[in-house]
Structure 1
Amino acid sequence: MTLTCRLASREDIPALLPMIDAAIIELQRGFLDADQIRSSRAIMGLDTQLIDDGTYFVVESDGELAGCGGWSRRATLYGGNHSAGRDAALLNPDTEPARIRAMYTHPAFTRRGVGSLVLARCEQAAAAEGFTALELMGTLAGAPLYQAAGFEPIEEVADDSGGAPVPLIRMHKKI
């Protein structure tokens, strides 16, 4: 299996949305109950600002969509286009961490290096813009990947804006 990684474009959105939904539903089983998974669908998703900013990646395996994810130089920590409280303010790379955002792996491609590839590309791109740290809001399902990549937990929270409270872990990494 050969993975390729490229910047996403708006033309990718119709393929990304069902893959993201499948990842939210299927990969959180065993970590969240059915109500929390439904709530996750309301608070997570694609933020097209990342695509427009040129900071969102698509991973493919032999032409098949395997995953996606990106980073941001903007203040929003997590959430999709539909999420409340988004903040498009630009971060200061000298004093603030870049954000890792909207990481999703197609359920058929888990544990094959998709997430690690996206994280490496994000870290490289953020460092090239002068950022010295990264921050993310991880799900319980995603936390093992992030910890393996050197992120450390700094805060546990629960987001109940979608209904049932969804446990999340804010994580940080120096680069």
Structure 2
Amino acid sequence: MASLIIRPGTRDDIAPLDALLARSYPRLLAADYPPSVLVTAIPRISKAQPALVTCGTYFVALRDGRLLGGGGWTRAAPGSGRRGAASVGHIRHFATDVEAVRQGVGRALMERVLATAAEAGVRRLECMSTRTAVPFYRSAGFEVLGEVDVPLDAGITFPALRMVRLLSSREGG
């Protein structure tokens, strides 16, 4: 098996990310969410955000030229567009292809995210996790703070869990 390449996202990654999200989210989330939630949420959460993908702190994972995952961090909280404290970062739009789950893709992306965030002075990373992804984030050192409803559109919310992880300067390398 060829090695995994992790690199910053580019505009050329947007369409493959859209396809990955549309293919993977319905299958991966089905065990943890009722169809009534998924039918309204999937069309809204399965689109790559061009500004996020190209921001420099969003990364993609490729093997043999095939995009297998994406994820990153920003200082701006999801949906706000506003930067918070310089020491706080937010995990953004992590996803692994349904055919590549448990093959180290998410772990490799998270290692890059943790390292780049720590190098940039981030000491606290927050995320809004799907119910499905909680075990992944826990394995990366995140702790659940509580349940939240993430607003997706007028009158449409998505049940998630707010999680946090403290970083040390040593993680930056």
- Quickly name the TM-score band, shorter chain normalised: 0.7 to 0.9
For 1:62 and 1:71, how far apart are their aligned partners in 2?
25
User: Partner letter of residue 162 of structure 2?
Assistant: R
Residue number in structure 2 paired with 1:157: 148
Cα deviation for residue 49 of structure 1 reads 2.1
SS of the residue corresponding to residue 53 of structure 1 reads: coil
CA RMSD of superposed structures (Å): 1.8
CA gap of 1:127–1:109, structure 2 versus 1, over 3 A, is same
Counting only pairs closer than 5 Å after superposition, residues 139-154 of structure 1 correspond to structure 2 as 139-154=130-145
1:6-17 paired onto structure 2 within 5 Å: 6-17=7-18
The structure 1 residue matched to 2:83, chosen from 81, 90, 114, is: 90
The 3-state SS of whatever aligns with 1:111 is coil
User: TM-score, with normalisation over the residues of structure 1?
Assistant: 0.86
Q: 1:124 & 1:113 partners in 2: Cα distance?
A: 16
Match of 1:35 in 2: 36
The equivalent residue for 1:174 is 166
Pairing 1:65–2:57 present: no
Structure 1: how far apart are the matches of 2:126 and 2:49?
16
- CA drift of 1:160 comes to 6.2
Structure 2 portions without partners, runs of 5+: 168-173
Match of 1:24 in 2: 25
Counterpart position of 2:56: 54
Equivalent pairs counted in the alignment come to 164
Match of 1:104 in 2: 95
Classify the secondary structure of the residue corresponding to 1:30: coil
How far residue 165 of structure 1 moved from its aligned partner, in angstroms, is: 5.2
Higher RCO, 1 vs 2 (CA within 8 Å, ≥6 residues apart)? 1
CA contact (8 A) 1:153 1:172 kept: yes
Could you tell me which residue of structure 2 aligns to residue 120 of structure 1?
111
| Structure 1 portions without partners, runs of 5+ | 78-85
- Letter of the aligned partner of 1:151 in structure 2? F
Q: Distance in 2 between matches of 1:109 and 1:43?
A: 23
TM-score w.r.t. structure 2 length?
0.86
Which ranges of 4 or more aligned residues in structure 1 deviate by more than 6 Å? none
Name the SS of the counterpart of 1:122 in structure 2. helix
Distance between the aligned counterparts of 2:152 and 2:28, measured in 1?
A: 21
Secondary structure of 1:171 counterpart: strand
Say if 1:39 and 1:160, in contact at 8 Å, map to a contact too: no
Query: What is the match of residue 82 of structure 1?
Result: none
